[in-house]
């Protein structure tokens, strides 16, 4: 059997070949009460890789439900809105796959991925933000030092919480 020297079997990575479902499947954890900041960063990366973050970004307007037909001068359903709804439903279903059941029950009545994203941010980002100064103070003023046995098991989760907070506040880019 002769070996082929052509590059027929080699195909370079193309982001266009990856779907949001693929990106969500790469997440190794689900959102719970303790990991909002890292969940948010992971979800944002997945959405941005598919040019879908604009669906949850409150700064980007949702298309109007109707548009004016230039021929009849009457309002008709806006095809951009209809496409937005389909894509938003897809994003919402993928987001729900990354959330634990107790938190799913909190968002069950929300209609859009933007509503869910904003609700979770209000519920969990503010809560994490309020805890960071206290945790930072406890870490820096530990009487036994950072490498002391009672502090060490809590150090790495605390360190990640502080880094996540700094990322969210724009300190790390």
Choice among 24-28, 60-64, 162-166 with the minimum mean pLDDT: 162-166
Print the domain residue range for 155: 30-168
- Domain assignment present for residue 13? The answer is no
Beta bridge partners of 75: 68
- Domain assignment present for residue 116? The answer is yes
The pTM assigned to this predicted structure is 0.66
- Domain assignment present for residue 1? The answer is no
Instruction: Give residue 110's pLDDT.
Output: 96
Distance, in Å, from the CA atom of 132 to the CA atom of 122, rounded to the nearest integer, reads 16
pLDDT exceeds cutoff 50 at 3:
no
- Domain assignment present for residue 4? The answer is no
In the chain, how many domains are there? 1
Distance (Å) of CA 47 to CA 29, 43, 84, 92, 161: 16, 6, 15, 11, 22
Q: Average of pLDDT values for 61-71? A: 94
Residue of 72 and 1 predicted with greater confidence: 72
Instruction: Give residue 97's pLDDT.
Output: 92
Residue of 9 and 7 predicted with greater confidence: 9
């Amino acid at each position: 059997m002769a070996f082929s020297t052509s590059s027929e079997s080699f195909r370079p990575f193309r982001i266009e070949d990856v779907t949001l479902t693929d990106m969500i499947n790469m997440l190794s954890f689900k959102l719970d009460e303790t990991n909002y900041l890292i969940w948010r960063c992971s979800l944002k990366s997945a959405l941005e890789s598919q040019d879908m973050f604009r669906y949850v970004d409150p700064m980007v307007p949702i298309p109007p439900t109707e548009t004016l037909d230039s021929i009849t001068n009457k309002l008709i359903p806006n095809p951009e809105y209809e496409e937005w709804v389909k894509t938003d439903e897809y994003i919402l279903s993928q987001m729900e796959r990354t959330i634990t059941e107790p938190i799913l029950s909190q968002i069950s009545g929300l209609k859009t991925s933007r509503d869910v994203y904003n609700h979770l941010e209000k519920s969990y980002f503010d809560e994490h933000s309020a805890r960071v100064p206290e945790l930072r103070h406890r870490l820096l003023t530990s009487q036994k030092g950072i490498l002391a046995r009672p502090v060490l098991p809590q150090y790495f989760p605390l360190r990640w919480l502080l880094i996540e907070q700094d990322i969210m506040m724009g300190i790390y880019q």
